[in-house]
Amino acid sequence: MIAAGLALFAAAAAAGARYELGYEPVAERMRVRLCIDAAAAVREFRLQRGGADYVEDLRRERGELRPSGEARWRAADWRAGECLTYVAKLGAVVQGRDREVGSRVGEVLLVAPQAWLLQDATTAGGEAVVTMPPDQAFAPPWQELARDGAATRYTIPATPFGWSAMIAVGRFEETRLRVGDSLARLTILGTTTAGQRATLRGWVERALAAAATGYGDLPLPQVQVVLFAGGRRGPAVGFGQSLRGQGNAVHIQVDANASAAALDADWTAVHEFSHWAHPYLGDDGAWLAEGLASYWQYVLRARSGALTPQQAWSELDAGFGRGLRTADDSRSLAELSQAMHARRAYYAVYWSGAAFWLTADVELRKRSGGRIGIDTALQRFHACCLERKREWGAEEFVAKLDALVGSDVLRREYRAFAARRGFPPLDALYARLGLQRDGDALQLADDAPDAAIRDAIVRRRAPPPTERASSQ
Ligand SMILES: [Zn+2]
């Protein structure tokens, strides 16, 4: 199997770090070999704090390697093509209490790579060939390049060291879903029956197809989806989270017993998948990021047919209502966004942000005679900039979107929204779109000046073809 790994590497151009991983399931250990082609006067390797506890038999194949601080090691006079070898004790990684480092989900280990996969301090990312025993699976957020028997070759995207990532290792199946030109790799953890897994897979497929109605494709060539299936008595879908370390992943808690209808009625999956369309925007840009996902969680489900236009606008209206009721008139949206977690100001921040995207979408469509909306701007951002993994400043991001569609709408609205205290007034926009509140109900009036724009935003569109590529 090592031979297969080497053959896979030979096909690649000289990359930065090259990892070979081989798993020993009984001992729950990963054998790691890390080679770097470029010579250097000094190389420093690192893990996150506490990571030294999970590493055993660490040695440099031809030279000295010295500890140089907490979970750091230095190698002087690194020659081209040198390698390190060690054993990573994955079973130990999941023993701690910090779920951000690792946890055990049934028979499966869920481990943060930064805790056990040594990284050269100056070059993030690299390539990896992973060899697994026959009944064992390895599911990282990395980009899969090729599979050859038990060996799989990946690119490890170069993301900032602190960005969260999780890898599942153990006995489970990873389902590969093709959505247009993109590959989604789905892992369902927890105890489930074959029927429950089929229901959950179908829901994820439909949610991915809905996400692809943003602009006809998923925003990224490869994504990872991890479901944590429990037997909880509660909502069909629980907490969802978007992770960006070493690739893009979405983790969602679900009730294994939920019906397809109950799953489809929930917004969480399409919300999380919508986050793939924007870069990481930091705390300053949390209102932009959450606003886009909150706006699209209803718009894209209407485009895919999961909601009627009436339902989608009613849900958006209900969201704006939650934002208005929890608004904070003493702080600007920019300030509230930075303090969102501390002040638990989620509704106000999310729905002020959604109001920004609706306002910008309508304005762009109005000015372009319906040719350009935020989906066009985000599609062009996808083409030029999305795959460069870095944090974008919030204003830098909207300025780029404006430049891509030749407008000043986004930046102008951005400044007005960021500086505003309290919830944005929507009455004028509602009147133009023909959204009329009638008691608790929302009516759609067809004689409003921008009713056609309202209808175009949520009009049904064909999702890209979706197919199950294979299951391992
Ligand atoms: Zn979100």
Give residue-wise pLDDT tens across range 95-109: 988 889 999 998 899
Give residue-wise pLDDT tens across range 242-294: 999 999 999 999 999 999 999 999 999 999 999 999 999 988 899 999 999 99
User: What is 352-414 written as a DSSP string?
Assistant: HHHHHHHHHHHHHHHHTTTS--HHHHHHHHHHHTTTS-SB--HHHHHHHHHHHHT-SHHHHHH
What distance in angstroms lies between residue 270's CA and the mean position of ligand 1's atoms?
10
Tell me whether strands 182-189 and 222-230 are parallel, antiparallel or unpaired: parallel
What distance in angstroms lies between residue 51's CA and the mean position of ligand 1's atoms?
30
Q: What is the average pLDDT across 13-27?
A: 86
Q: How far apart are CA 464 and CA 215, in angstroms?
A: 10
pLDDT at 266: 97
What distance in angstroms lies between residue 346's CA and the mean position of ligand 1's atoms?
10
Q: How far apart are CA 142 and CA 184, in angstroms?
A: 11
Q: Tell me, what DSSP letter sits at residue 332?
A: B
Question: Shortest CA distance to 244 belongs to which of 267, 224, 217?
Answer: 224
Q: What is the average pLDDT across 65-76?
A: 95
- Write out the H or E segment, with its range, that includes residue 59: strand 55-60
Q: What is the average pLDDT across 434-449?
A: 94
pLDDT tier at 7 (50, 70, 90 boundaries)? very low
Q: What is the average pLDDT across 208-218?
A: 94
What are the extents of the domains in the chain?
2-103+113-158, 215-222+260-468
Give residue-wise pLDDT tens across range 60-69: 988 899 999 9
What distance in angstroms lies between residue 446's CA and the mean position of ligand 1's atoms?
32
Q: What is the average pLDDT across 116-143?
A: 94
User: What is 409-441 written as a DSSP string?
Assistant: HHHHHHHHHHH-BSSPP-HHHHHHHTEEEETTE
What distance in angstroms lies between residue 425's CA and the mean position of ligand 1's atoms?
23
Q: What is the average pLDDT across 316-323?
A: 96
What distance in angstroms lies between residue 272's CA and the mean position of ligand 1's atoms?
6
How many Cβ atoms from other residues are within 10 Å of residue 22's Cβ? 19
What distance in angstroms lies between residue 357's CA and the mean position of ligand 1's atoms?
14
What distance in angstroms lies between residue 323's CA and the mean position of ligand 1's atoms?
15
pLDDT at 337: 92
What distance in angstroms lies between residue 286's CA and the mean position of ligand 1's atoms?
9
What distance in angstroms lies between residue 95's CA and the mean position of ligand 1's atoms?
29
Contact status, residue 388 vs residue 297, Cβ threshold 8 Å? no
How many Cβ atoms from other residues are within 10 Å of residue 52's Cβ? 15
What distance in angstroms lies between residue 271's CA and the mean position of ligand 1's atoms?
6
- Please give the CATH architecture assigned to the domain spanning 2-103+113-158: Sandwich (2.60)
What distance in angstroms lies between residue 167's CA and the mean position of ligand 1's atoms?
21
Q: Tell me, what DSSP letter sits at residue 63?
A: S
Q: Tell me, what DSSP letter sits at residue 142?
A: S
pLDDT at 464: 83
Angle (deg, nearest 10), helices 286-303 and 346-367: 60
What distance in angstroms lies between residue 45's CA and the mean position of ligand 1's atoms?
33
Tell me whether strands 249-255 and 222-230 are parallel, antiparallel or unpaired: parallel
- Quick one: fold of 215-222+260-468? Neutral Protease; domain 2 (1.10.390)
What distance in angstroms lies between residue 402's CA and the mean position of ligand 1's atoms?
23
Question: Shortest CA distance to 300 belongs to which of 238, 378, 198?
Answer: 378
- pLDDT, mean over the chain: 93
pTM: 0.93
What distance in angstroms lies between residue 411's CA and the mean position of ligand 1's atoms?
22
What distance in angstroms lies between residue 293's CA and the mean position of ligand 1's atoms?
6
How many Cβ atoms from other residues are within 10 Å of residue 126's Cβ? 22
What distance in angstroms lies between residue 197's CA and the mean position of ligand 1's atoms?
25
pLDDT at 96: 83
What distance in angstroms lies between residue 65's CA and the mean position of ligand 1's atoms?
43
Residue 10 has pLDDT above 90, yes or no: no
What distance in angstroms lies between residue 297's CA and the mean position of ligand 1's atoms?
10
pLDDT at 383: 92
Q: What is the average pLDDT across 346-357?
A: 96
pLDDT tier at 470 (50, 70, 90 boundaries)? low
Residues belonging to the chain:
472
Q: What percent of the chain has pLDDT over 70?
A: 96
In 3-state terms, what secondary structure has residue 88? Answer: strand
Give residue-wise pLDDT tens across range 359-386: 999 999 999 999 999 999 999 999 999 8
Looking at mean pLDDT, say which of 229-233, 268-272, 323-327 comes out highest: 268-272
Residue 124 has pLDDT above 90, yes or no: no
